[in-house]
């Protein structure tokens, strides 16, 4: 029986055109921060910090601590000095990126069904962004107000996808065995390694054939309503 369901966000609960979203995010962030740091230097520091987070594998540092340690080594200003501008970016500019995503109609009812069945639920997006950015994307998906047991962000995680350490940390936080956790996501390379950690995996995809281990988000929702998680 599955007791916890981990739900990916981009490409799963939210139709995100990452090939547009990520470049626009980087350009918008660098442009906004240009009064404090040249755009090219900011982009280089941003990417170096991101690479460092991807390499984090369950260290004592959170992903945020790793990011800012690497970023600050390339920045003339400290995290504390940049914080007001960064906060303004996520308040004023980041919401404009909603144009690159579309909500999926079954996302909210799926989460509500999981809650009704007593499952622990985790918003298991790759924790490379701060809480505010992830909560905004959850809002675009229509699930921000629902009571997730955990939302993985760069502030609270010590590893990232695709490291099995990321999935082990989630199970440890929930206090339940890996074997009764299910990861549902669209990216085999990023979400599939949940299996290496000891979890089950459901591949969210629009490509048939559909089964008890793969299918669209609508298909997964239907399986949950039919009691499939209790049988697995």
Domain spans of the chain? 4-16+102-231, 18-98
Considering only CA atoms, give the Rg of the chain.
18
Round to whole Å and give the CA distance between 97 and 213: 32
Round to whole Å and give the CA distance between 99 and 75: 30
pTM, full prediction: 0.96
- One digit per residue, the tens of pLDDT, for the chain of length 232 reads 999 999 999 999 999 988 899 999 999 999 999 999 999 999 999 999 999 999 999 999 999 999 999 999 999 999 999 999 999 999 999 999 999 999 999 999 999 999 999 999 999 999 999 999 999 999 999 999 999 999 999 999 999 999 999 999 999 999 999 999 999 999 999 999 999 999 999 999 999 999 999 999 999 999 999 999 998 7
Non-local CB neighbours of 15 within 8 Å, separated by 6+ positions? 101, 102, 103, 104
Nearest of 1, 28, 15, 3 to residue 218 by alpha carbon: 15
N- to C-terminal Cα separation, the chain: 5
CB 169 within 8 A of CB 157: yes
Return the CATH number of the domain spanning residue range 4-16+102-231: 3.40.50.1000
In sequence order, what DSSP letters do the residues of 74-140 get, joined into one string?
Answer: T-SS-HHHHHHHHHHHHHHTGGGGGGGEEE-TTHHHHHHHHHHTT-EEEE---S-S-HHHHHHHHHH
């Amino acid at each position: 029986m599955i007791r916890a369901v981990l739900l990916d966000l981009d490409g799963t609960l939210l139709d995100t055109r990452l090939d547009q979203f990520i470049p626009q995010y980087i350009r918008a962030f660098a442009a906004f921060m240009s009064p404090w740091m040249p755009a090219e230097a900011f982009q280089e520091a941003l990417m170096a910090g991101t690479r460092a987070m991807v390499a984090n594998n369950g260290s004592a540092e959170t992903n945020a601590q790793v990011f800012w340690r690497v970023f600050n080594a390339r920045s003339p200003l400290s995290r504390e000095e940049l914080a007001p501008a960064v906060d303004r970016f996520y308040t004023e500019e980041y919401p404009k990126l909603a144009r690159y995503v579309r909500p999926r109609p079954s996302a909210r009812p799926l989460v509500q069904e999981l809650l009704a069945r007593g499952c622990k639920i985790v918003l298991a997006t790759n924790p490379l962004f701060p809480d505010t950015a992830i909560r905004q994307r959850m809002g675009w998906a229509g699930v921000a107000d629902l009571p997730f047991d955990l939302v993985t962000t760069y502030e609270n995680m010590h590893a990232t996808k695709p490291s099995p350490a990321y999935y082990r940390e989630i199970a440890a936080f929930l206090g339940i065995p890996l074997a009764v956790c299910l990861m549902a996501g669209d990216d085999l390379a990023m979400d599939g390694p949940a299996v290496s950690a000891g979890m089950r995996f459901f591949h969210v995809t629009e490509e048939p054939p559909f089964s008890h281990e793969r299918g669209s988000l609508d298909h997964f929702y239907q399986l949950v309503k039919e009691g499939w998680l209790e049988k697995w």
